Amino acid sequence: MVDDATDLPICPLCGRPIPADVPQSLHHLVPKLRGGKGGPVVLLHDICHREIHATLSETELARCYNTLDALRAHPRLAKFCAWVARRPPEFTSKVPGRRRMTRR
């Protein structure tokens, strides 16, 4: 039995429906470790959530990217959203390890 797409939650990052049988997770807009415990959370596809954390550090998320508009405006996440939006809602893939630049 296929869920009616109109009854499904929509991923606020990529805009695709989130079927019940697809990996999904809650994202704290302000990371818990940076004061966001009990703060606003959004339901995302797991692939979208993993891409956020592969791109941005907890500190960057807390300081500059603590809204959905800010996340969608980040150049790499905008490119990812455009790419994944062309995939079916049940699409999943491994997100490679951290791709953000680390300071030494």
Average pLDDT on 21-45 reads 90
Range of the domain at 13: 5-84
Q: If 0-12 CB within 10 Å is exposed, 13-18 middle and 19+ buried, where does residue 103 land?
A: exposed
Question: pLDDT at residue 95 above 70?
Answer: no
Q: What is the pLDDT of residues 6-27, one digit of tens each?
A: 689 999 999 999 999 999 999 9
Work out how many domains the chain is built from and give that number.
1
> Which of 3-17, 22-36, 59-73, 89-103 has the lowest average pLDDT?
89-103
Give the global pTM. 0.82
Look at residues 35, 97, 95 and name the one whose alpha carbon lies nearest to residue 66: 35
Asked if residue 46 belongs to a domain, the reply is yes
Asked if residue 90 belongs to a domain, the reply is no
Asked if residue 93 belongs to a domain, the reply is no
Q: What is the pLDDT of residue 1?
A: 43
